[in-house]
Amino acid sequence: MGDSQTIRNWSNMKADKQYQKGHFIEMGITIGLPMGVPIGLLLGSIALGFVLGLAVGLSMGVAMEKIYNKNPIPLATEEKRRQKKWSWMGISVGLFAFIMLNLLYFLQI
């Protein structure tokens, strides 16, 4: 089922110049994060560079999404489920890392 869905979506993207919802946002983040690292090095904080790169990439992606993807291909049910699962996984890992870093900082281990 997944293979025929992928082939169908790929043929739609080629023929109609449509892209799946969020395609350009992913591209913007992919471009923005590596751009932020040198900025972070110049500012003396790589973490700040990642945050700035994420913000720049996200804004670029949203702008490109509005310009080039006016009629996006909706995500399939399986893709929505997978996206939701990975989003929750990322949120939980980020929350765990935040708690651990705060514990390490305040306990000075």
pLDDT digits (tens, 9 = 90+) for 8-27: 555 554 445 788 888 898 89
Are 33 and 44 members of one domain?
Answer: yes
Q: Phi and psi dihedrals of 73, rounded to 5? A: -80, 125
CA distance 33 to 17: 26
In this prediction, residue 95 carries a pLDDT of 92
Give residue-wise pLDDT tens across range 27-59: 999 999 999 989 988 988 888 888 999 999 999
Domains of the chain: total: 2
Are 64 and 95 members of one domain?
Answer: no
Are 35 and 83 members of one domain?
Answer: no
pTM beyond 0.75, yes or no: no
pLDDT greater than 70 at residue 4: no
| Alpha helix (H) residue ranges in 1-109 | 2-16, 23-43, 46-68, 77-107
pLDDT greater than 60 at residue 3: no
Q: What is the DSSP letter of 75?
A: P
Cα 109 to the center of its chain, rounded Å: 33
Are 6 and 49 members of one domain?
Answer: yes
